[in-house]
Amino acid sequence: MEESSRPLDALNEARNKRVIIDLKNGHQYVGKLKAFDIHINTVLDEAEEREEGEVKRKLGTVFIRGDTIITISPE
Amino acid sequence: MEESSRPLDALNEARNKRVIIDLKNGHQYVGKLKAFDIHINTVLDEAEEREEGEVKRKLGTVFIRGDTIITISPE
Amino acid sequence: MEESSRPLDALNEARNKRVIIDLKNGHQYVGKLKAFDIHINTVLDEAEEREEGEVKRKLGTVFIRGDTIITISPE
Amino acid sequence: MEESSRPLDALNEARNKRVIIDLKNGHQYVGKLKAFDIHINTVLDEAEEREEGEVKRKLGTVFIRGDTIITISPE
Amino acid sequence: MEESSRPLDALNEARNKRVIIDLKNGHQYVGKLKAFDIHINTVLDEAEEREEGEVKRKLGTVFIRGDTIITISPE
Amino acid sequence: MEESSRPLDALNEARNKRVIIDLKNGHQYVGKLKAFDIHINTVLDEAEEREEGEVKRKLGTVFIRGDTIITISPE
Amino acid sequence: MEESSRPLDALNEARNKRVIIDLKNGHQYVGKLKAFDIHINTVLDEAEEREEGEVKRKLGTVFIRGDTIITISPE
């Protein structure tokens, strides 16, 4: 995510890489970033939901509504 | 939901398949994805509301307002 | 609400039929669906407010602001 | 509010009649509906604020911001 | 605020008069209505903040962001 | 902030003067108003964060996102 | 961040410098400001999450959704 000037460029560089997504309700999703849009609606593949570092649920693919997201960072 | 580049493409691939929808209030709806729009307003058929894995209510068809949704994933 | 491809088509098929509307504050309204718009602002006729299955208040006609709604489903 | 197809038509039929407005914070306003707009910003005349059925405050005219409203129904 | 058909007309009639503004966080501001816009961003002059009827803070002029407002009514 | 008819005119008159900004989370920022926009995104210079009247943190310059603001008033 | 008249100009002057971002949920991120947009979506490099002054998590690069942000200030 270096040398980019717009936030979505940074997300674009993370495409197909594993990312950690922290949600407003305290939940955390980890998976391969497949898609996102300007609302930060996001799709992860090979995704899992984690709670305090432990896997709570394996989801395969998951669509996450953008307005529930706080941060997206590389795993 | 493979090989799609926009989040709504991923939802489109899930059409007519069973999905799990997690809401901001902690409720969970499971059913066949019949329709959705850019606000993520969603219609499920053969739907049921679940609480901690158990069926709480059978709804048949249900319209879910998009801004109440956190995640949509295949069952 | 079968065979429709957009969520509002599904609501349109429910017009003049009795529906259950669940709100974000936990309240539930039941009545005949008379009108709705793209914000999901909704008007019910012969409406009643229910709390845990029991009728709390009879309202006749009621206008419900769309952003307070979680789900709309046939009674 | 019969035979109208859009939610704001229903509000229009209630103009100059007494309505009950329930707010998201649990407060209730009762008065004559003088004006509203597409945001459901609303003006009541001869208005009073009620708490559990009892008059808490007499307001004369009151402007209510639309995004605080849950329901509007005839008294 | 009589005989107006749009909510902002009613606010316009209250211009330069003293109004009570109730906020979503329970605070109350009282002062002379100097300005407002379509978001209901509002400016009061000779303003004071009140808590349960008692003056808590004298503010002179105050700008209030519209999305924090529930009601505006004449003092 | 006298004789202005739009809320942002009033903010403009406060430019380069010290203002108190109250936030939705109860925090308070005090500083010289350097910039604002239509979302009420705001920049203060020589800013400090206060809690119940006492300085909690000195910040120099601070950007405040508009949707977190309740009121802006002269110090 | 001196002499700028729009809030985003002030953010632009902070580009490539270390900033502190305070979020609505009480979390704090510190890092080098790489990118932002009009929604205040923000990307930090060499970022860390802090809780009451102590480093809780090192994140490298992090994308922060703008609507979760309260303030951005130089470290």
Average of per-residue pLDDT values in chain G: 92
Angstrom distance (rounded) from CA F44 to CA F75: 13
- List the one residue out of B58, B53, B62 whose CA is nearest residue B28: B53
Residues of B with Cβ-Cβ distance to C73 under 8 angstroms: 47, 59-63
Residue E38, C-beta contacts closer than 8 angstroms, at least 6 positions apart: E8
Chain G nearest CA to F3, separation (Å)? 23
Of all residues in chain B, the percent with pLDDT exceeding 90 is 87
DSSP string spanning D5-29? SSHHHHHHHTTTSEEEEEETTS-EE
The answer on pLDDT for G2 being more than 50 is no
List, for residues B20-53, the tens digit of each pLDDT value. Answer: 999 999 999 999 999 999 999 999 999 999 988 8
User: Count of residues for chain C?
Assistant: 75
Q: Do E62 and F70 touch (CB under 8 A)?
A: no
Domain boundaries, chain D: 7-74
- List the one residue out of B34, B32, B43 whose CA is nearest residue B69: B43
Q: For residue D1, what pLDDT band results from cuts at 50, 70 and 90?
A: very low
Touching partners of C (3+ C-beta pairs < 8 Å): B, D
pLDDT in the model for residue F53: 81
Nearest-CA residue of chain A relative to B11?
Answer: A63
Q: Do F74 and E60 touch (CB under 8 A)?
A: yes
List, for residues G27-62, the tens digit of each pLDDT value. Answer: 999 999 999 999 999 999 999 999 888 899 999 999
pLDDT in the model for residue F51: 85
Tokens standing for residue E34:
């100097």
Q: Say if domain F7-74 classifies as CATH 3.40.190.10.
A: no
Instruction: Report the run of H or E that residue F21 belongs to, with start and end.
Output: strand F18-23
- Residues of chain F under the 50 pLDDT cut: 1-4
Chain A nearest CA to B64, separation (Å)? 13
Residues of F with Cβ-Cβ distance to E67 under 8 angstroms: 67
Tell me which of B42, B43, B64, B68 to substitute to probe the interface with C (most C C-beta atoms closer than 10 Å). B43
Q: Return the SS3 of F26.
A: coil
Tell me which of A24, A43, A48, A70 to substitute to probe the interface with B (most B C-beta atoms closer than 10 Å). A43
The answer on pLDDT for E38 being more than 70 is yes
- List the one residue out of F40, F41, F8, F23 whose CA is nearest residue E37: F8
Nearest-CA residue of chain D relative to E73?
Answer: D62
Q: For residue C3, what pLDDT band results from cuts at 50, 70 and 90?
A: very low
Q: Residue E10 phi/psi, 5° resolution? A: -65, -45
List, for residues B52-68, the tens digit of each pLDDT value. Answer: 888 999 999 999 999 99
Backbone angle region of C20, left / alpha / beta, with phi > 0 → left and psi within -120 to 50 → alpha: beta
Helices (H), chain G: 7-13
Angstrom distance (rounded) from CA G55 to CA G47: 10
The answer on pLDDT for B3 being more than 70 is no
Of all residues in chain E, the percent with pLDDT exceeding 70 is 95
Tell me which of A11, A33, A65 to substitute to probe the interface with B (most B C-beta atoms closer than 10 Å). A65
List, for residues C40-66, the tens digit of each pLDDT value. Answer: 999 999 999 998 888 999 999 999 999
Q: Return the SS3 of D9.
A: helix
Residues C6, C7, C10, C12, CA torsion sign: negative
Chain D nearest CA to E35, separation (Å)? 15
